[in-house]
Amino acid sequence: MQSKKLYDEIEYLFNRYWDEDLSDEEQDKLEQKADDLVAKYGWNTVYEKVTYYLHTKCLTPESAVNFASNYWTYGWYNNPIPDPHRFLAYFYYRTNFDTQKYDPMDILDSLATTILPKAGFSEANLVLNTQYMPENDPKIKYEVEKFKAAEQ
């Protein structure tokens, strides 16, 4: 039952457009709800349900980028991600690496250059490697190919 409740709360947080016109108070409530979920269930449990939601509900480029934008807004990039390349690869898989078309705000690059260095992958640290591009990262490309292979 608790698992269903958590999933429903995650669905509530992510089943909205990231650029929805909200008051500051409404936005603060959403961000607080996101923080409260992590405090209540623990990050590992929340991450498991969030990625399940991502992989089952975000099946178009637009919905995947929308998810990424909300994920950024909730500040969840600050939490450890056990499989950072796979997590990030899902977005590039869904957009077919066409970030110019689907990600004009560069949220995917922002996620990658924040998440990967925190996970110990210094090659994605823009201070150390100003030429880093997630689209060229062999680990992300490998994970994208795994997603593609799984759909066949």
Is residue 86's pLDDT more than 90?
yes
The Cα–Cα gap between 67 and 139 comes to: 22
Domain that holds residue 57: 2-150
pLDDT greater than 60 at residue 64:
yes
Which pLDDT band, with edges at 50, 70 and 90, does 1 fall under?
low
> How far apart are alpha carbons 50 and 44 in whole angstroms?
10
Residues 76-101 have a mean pLDDT of: 95
Give the CA angle between residues 36, 89, 111 to the nearest 5°: 50
Q: pLDDT at position 105, please?
A: 87
Mean residue pLDDT across the chain: 93
Q: Which amino acid is at 78?
A: N
Do residues 135 and 96 lie in contact, with contact meaning Cβ atoms separated by under 8 Å?
no
Give the pLDDT of residue 135.
94
- What domain count does the chain have? 1
pLDDT at 18 > cutoff 80: no
Longest dimension (CA), the chain: 47
Report the run of H or E that residue 69 belongs to, with start and end. helix 61-73
